[in-house]
Amino acid sequence: MNDQRSKAVISPEVMARAIDHTVLKPDAVSGDLDVLADEARAHGFCAVCVNSCHVALVGERLKGSDVNVCTVVGFPLGAMHPKAKACEAEIAVENGASEIDMVLNVGALISGELSTAEADILEVRHAIGAGSVLKVIIETCLLTDKEKVLACNIAASAGADFVKTSTGFSSGGATLEDVRLMKQTVGDHLQVKASGGIKDWHTAAGMLRAGATRIGTSAGVAILQDAP
């Protein structure tokens, strides 16, 4: 890793613009989403990330701000039919989402069915068009390092903009080692989003220094309050 990056001072403003402020719990209600959107606007977060059924509500709440609306597709398993993922993504964009975080078909990747895994991403990429940001969640906790590299390369080949570590709903979240490996693999061609278990400033800053440019977390406000 670049030594200069590893020692970089990260300001609260830089941290805020890296955060995708997230609520993906199944029992989230409209009040939770209003708070999420208001916090994102107040703190200058990059995006809010919600389940696709909440995109229109959050988009309306954020109208007039520069906070992006992000949603998850094929969440949290990634085991849906490609056309189902594509349809969900297309509807989300129609409802106001500008960023889509889709879950990789992990089983296809592990089985060596790489063309299937790539086609799955391509379906979503084609559905949302080039104007929307596409992040591919590779669920690092389920993969070997070799498979993580394969997943990153497939995402790049299929036209993704980011690779993302985790859903936060499996057996593990983001690690510094995984972020470094993913950044090393994609270089400057894609960006890296670290997500899963990031709840304090020290951890979030470490992810940025390791090569991530986005942090997916439900603890965005607490992270900023924890700034040194």
Q: What is the set of active-site residues? A: 101, 164, 193
Question: Two tokens at 81?
Answer: 């039919």
- 76 preceded by a cis bond (ω within 30 of 0): yes
**Phi and psi torsions of 57, nearest 5°:** -60, -50
Which of 195, 182, 128 has the alpha carbon at shortest distance from 156? 182
* CA distance from start to end of the chain: 23
Query: 222, 201 in Cβ contact below 8 A?
Result: no
